[in-house]
Amino acid sequence: MGHTGLVLKGLVRRLCSVAHGTASVFHATWRRVSGPFPLVGGLIADVGRSRSELIAENALLRQQLIVASRAVKRPVFLGHERGLLVLLARFVVRWRDALILVKPETVLRWHREGFRLWWHWRSQSRRPQEPRLAPDVIVLIRRMARENRLWGAERIRGELLKLGARVAKRTVQRYMRGARPPGVPRGQPWLTFLHNHTVWSCDFLQTYDVWFRPLFAFFIVDVNSKRVVHVAVTRAPTQQWTAQQLRNATPFGEGPRFLIRDRDDKYGAVFDRIAKGAGLRIVKTAVEAPLMNSVYERFLGSVRRECVDHVIILSERHLLHVLREYALGYFNVARPHQGIEQQIPIPADRPFTHVDSVTAIPVLGGLHHDYRAAA
At residue 76, does pLDDT exceed 80? no
Could you state, in order of their start, the residue ranges of all structural domains in the chain? 2-118, 135-179, 192-349
CA atoms within 13 A on the CB side of 239: 12
Higher pLDDT, 362 or 161: 161
pLDDT at 352 over 70: no
List Cα–Cα distances, 191 to 149, 340, 343, in angstroms: 17, 11, 17
* pLDDT at residue 49 greater than cutoff 60: yes
pLDDT at position 78: 81
Average pLDDT over residues 50-58: 76
357 exposure class (CB count in 10 Å sphere: 0-12, 13-18, 19+):
exposed
> Which of the two residues, 27 and 370, has the higher pLDDT score?
27
In this structure, of 116-120, 246-250, 347-351, 352-356, the range with the lowest mean pLDDT score is: 352-356
- % of the chain exceeding 90 in pLDDT: 31
- Report the distance separating Cα 25 and Cα 6, nearest Å: 29
| Element containing residue 44 per DSSP (H, E) | helix 38-45
Instruction: Read off the pLDDT of residues 202-216 as tens digits, 9 standing for 90 and up.
Output: 999 999 999 999 999
Model pLDDT, residue 267:
94
Tell me the C-alpha distance between 265 and 351, whole Å: 41
Most confident residue range from 18-27, 34-43, 61-70, 295-304: 295-304
**Percentage, residues of the chain above pLDDT 70:** 72
The pLDDT, as a whole number, for residue 356 is 46
Provide mean pLDDT across the span 279-308: 90
DSSP string over 288-339:
T-GGGGHHHHHHHHHHHHHTGGG----SHHHHHHHHHHHIIIIITTT--BGG
Cα 9–Cα 15–Cα 17 angle in degrees, nearest 5: 105
What pLDDT was estimated at residue 320?
96
**Whole-number pLDDT of residue 89:** 80
Higher pLDDT, 217 or 329: 217
In whole angstroms, what separates CA 141 from the centre of its chain? 30
Arithmetic mean of pLDDT over the chain: 79
pLDDT surpasses 70 at 185: no
> Is the pLDDT assigned to residue 304 strictly greater than 70?
yes
If pLDDT is split at 50, 70 and 90, which confidence band does 274 have? very high
CB 172 within 8 A of CB 151: no
Highest mean pLDDT range out of 3-17, 66-80, 275-289, 355-369?
275-289
Cβ contact 197:256 at 8 Å: yes
pLDDT digits (tens, 9 = 90+) for 112-153: 888 888 888 888 766 666 667 888 999 999 999 888 878 889
Which has the higher per-residue pLDDT, 3 or 136? Answer: 136
At 183, the pLDDT band (50, 70, 90 cuts) reads low
* pLDDT bracket for residue 186 (50, 70, 90): low
CATH number for 192-349: choose from 3.90.226.10, 3.40.50.300, 3.30.420.10, 3.90.380.10. 3.30.420.10
The per-residue pLDDT for 19 is 63
Query: Would you place residue 369 in the very low, low, confident or very high pLDDT band (cuts 50, 70, 90)?
Result: very low
Calculate mean pLDDT across residues 314-322: 95
